[in-house]
Chains A and B, each alone.
Chain A
């Protein structure tokens, strides 16, 4: 293993990166992101209607759609998804910084229906109460002390299983998914479930959250998973009362948080904690395998794993869109929005805005570093950011390229990526001999 040791000081993830700033500076320069903060004069134009957008096209490949929309206006009314879609970096950033105007607590929320009312759909001060209840479990110090060693052991195991399965097996389903599933199971403290349960719960609950097509079967499956999670959560909360450990459920067992909130927050965490690291891991490896010169650079300089990880999150944000609702009449990016307007903050589009990122459609680890919006921003900034960085960039990626130096995509088999609310690799057969 070429991983950095768990030393007593330093960040479990990025602390090692700038140890030789001159060396890194030679590889990349840092330019601050630009964003327009001046509100345009009221009343703003009416939002253009993007009636040419279909959900099927978005699922297959949203990026040409985003490009066309961004070129036309930063905000559109999109009948197919029944909301305004916000596609420019500046407008998405403005929303993130203004929770008074752009509420996370939207009406008729698909996520609330699928997972319950979690912190992700609450505004402050309510959001903060729930978020604080998560305590130190997901923070760098705890990752360093407790989780990194567990991630390394899980990685050994599941990379071993991929190898045992032989060439032609699927990088996503035979490795990335069980690896991140088992990590999540342990971080959350689900002693009464398997990583396969976590995968099933995550996918079915997320399918509900992204059920813009309102498919009744999707709702039924999500409801069944929701019931299973409730039972598992209740059981573990009682267990941890007398047997505390470092897991999330253990911490929550001693908190004065209503059970309904705990259940909803746990479901949200199952969704966000599995698919996102799984998808970033597969997308980053896929991007590197498709860009041999960048892969060679990463292999020669292990500190670039974290740079590749961040570029991958920018390039294909695993959470491509999240909702907000306006609390008053407002003007965003020159477009008038009425009070109660339902918005989709399209991070997948903002992160490819040419006003901020040069040649934005390209995966390029050598681009000047700028703040991307892949982890969201403001008070809802992803609480699992450091866990994802640790398990993917610090543990999995270095190990994958060290143990499988000839890793490549299987040319005899198809590779597919899909999704827009959530996006990642859905099929990725690999060879390594």
Chain B
């Protein structure tokens, strides 16, 4: 099973195993990870699933779509180069593990 590691701004890190094709947002919400809200259920409409992807994993990700791009401008914690919407990034055979930082502020 692919794994997702969420690192909180406090330094606390939680690894969860999820089925292939699961989004980072869904992985976080179903496992009760604090700081990922996922208000819109994955429609790229709420920007409450903001994560920072560690650089070593960024290359394996699909590019940011236009919808994701404009929503990333609306995040509560300021957007960086590493910012993605957790609902738009899925784990897969090509991306069997990933480590992301959870922003300090999400709403």
Return the chain B residue nearest A124 by Cβ: B41
B66 / chain A contacts, CB cutoff of 8 Å: 141
In the complex, whether B35 has a CB less than 8 A from a CB of chain A is: yes
Return the chain B residue nearest A34 by Cβ: B34
Number of chain A residues close to chain B: CB under 8 A: 32
Cβ–Cβ contact A371 & B74, under 8 A: no
CB within 8 Å for A15 and B73 given contacts A141-B66, A371-B39, A381-B45: yes
In the complex, whether A146 has a CB less than 8 A from a CB of chain B is: no
B76 / chain A contacts, CB cutoff of 8 Å: 14, 17-18, 30
Cβ–Cβ contact B34 & A385, under 8 A: no
CB B41 to nearest CB in A, in angstroms, measures 4
B40 / chain A contacts, CB cutoff of 8 Å: 377-379, 381
A369 / chain B contacts, CB cutoff of 8 Å: 105, 107
- Provide the main secondary structure of the chain B interface: loop
B52-107 contacts to A, CB under 8 A, are: 66-67, 70-71, 73-74, 76-78, 104-107
B67 / chain A contacts, CB cutoff of 8 Å: 136, 139
Cβ–Cβ contact B70 & A140, under 8 A: yes
Cβ–Cβ contact A32 & B34, under 8 A: yes
- The complex places the Cα of A163 from the Cα of B32 at a distance, in Å, of 51
CB within 8 Å for A131 and B106 given contacts A140-B74, A141-B66: no
Q: Which of A5-13, A200-208, A235-243, A330-338 contacts B (4 or more CB under 8 A)?
A: A5-13
- The complex places the Cα of A136 from the Cα of B67 at a distance, in Å, of 8
- The complex places the Cα of A305 from the Cα of B41 at a distance, in Å, of 26
Cβ–Cβ contact A140 & B71, under 8 A: yes
CB B31 to nearest CB in A, in angstroms, measures 9
Cβ–Cβ contact A385 & B46, under 8 A: yes
Cβ–Cβ contact A30 & B107, under 8 A: yes
CB within 8 Å for A15 and B74 given contacts A97-B29, A370-B107, A371-B107: yes
Cβ–Cβ contact B41 & A377, under 8 A: yes
- The complex places the Cα of A386 from the Cα of B37 at a distance, in Å, of 17
- The complex places the Cα of A11 from the Cα of B78 at a distance, in Å, of 11
In the complex, whether A33 has a CB less than 8 A from a CB of chain B is: yes
- The complex places the Cα of A379 from the Cα of B43 at a distance, in Å, of 7
CB within 8 Å for A18 and B74 given contacts A33-B37, A371-B48, A381-B46: no
Question: Quick one: CB contact mask for A1-39 with B, threshold 8 Å, 1 for yes?
Answer: 000000001110111011001000000001011000100
Return the chain A residue nearest B46 by Cβ: A381
A367-417 contacts to B, CB under 8 A, are: 369-371, 375, 377-381, 383, 385-386
Cβ–Cβ contact B45 & A371, under 8 A: no
Name the one of B41, B45, B70, B77 contacting A18, with C-beta atoms under 8 angstroms: B77
Return the chain B residue nearest A389 by Cβ: B74
Cβ–Cβ contact B39 & A375, under 8 A: yes
A131 / chain B contacts, CB cutoff of 8 Å: 43
Cβ–Cβ contact A379 & B41, under 8 A: yes
CB A396 to nearest CB in B, in angstroms, measures 19
CB B81 to nearest CB in A, in angstroms, measures 14
Cβ–Cβ contact B37 & A14, under 8 A: no
- The complex places the Cα of A9 from the Cα of B34 at a distance, in Å, of 29
Name the one of A9, A32, A371 contacting B73, with C-beta atoms under 8 angstroms: A9
Return the chain B residue nearest A372 by Cβ: B107
B34 / chain A contacts, CB cutoff of 8 Å: 32
CB A23 to nearest CB in B, in angstroms, measures 13
CB B76 to nearest CB in A, in angstroms, measures 6
Cβ–Cβ contact A371 & B78, under 8 A: no
- The complex places the Cα of A37 from the Cα of B74 at a distance, in Å, of 28
A86-132 contacts to B, CB under 8 A, are: 96-97, 131
- The complex places the Cα of A381 from the Cα of B39 at a distance, in Å, of 7
CB A40 to nearest CB in B, in angstroms, measures 16
- The complex places the Cα of A385 from the Cα of B73 at a distance, in Å, of 15
Can you report 17 residue pairs joining A to B where beta carbons are below 8 Å apart? A15-B73, A15-B74, A18-B78, A30-B76, A30-B104, A32-B35, A32-B106, A96-B41, A131-B43, A140-B70, A140-B73, A371-B37, A375-B39, A379-B43, A381-B39, A381-B40, A381-B45
Using CB atoms and an 8 Å cutoff, list the residues of chain A in contact with chain B. 9-11, 13-15, 17-18, 21, 30, 32-33, 37, 96-97, 131, 136, 139-141, 369-371, 375, 377-381, 383, 385-386
Known contacts A32-B106, A377-B39; 6 further A-B pairs (Cβ under 8 A): A9-B73, A15-B74, A371-B106, A379-B40, A379-B43, A385-B46
Question: Which 4 pairs between the two chains have the least Cβ-Cβ distance?
Answer: A381-B40, A11-B74, A378-B41, A141-B70
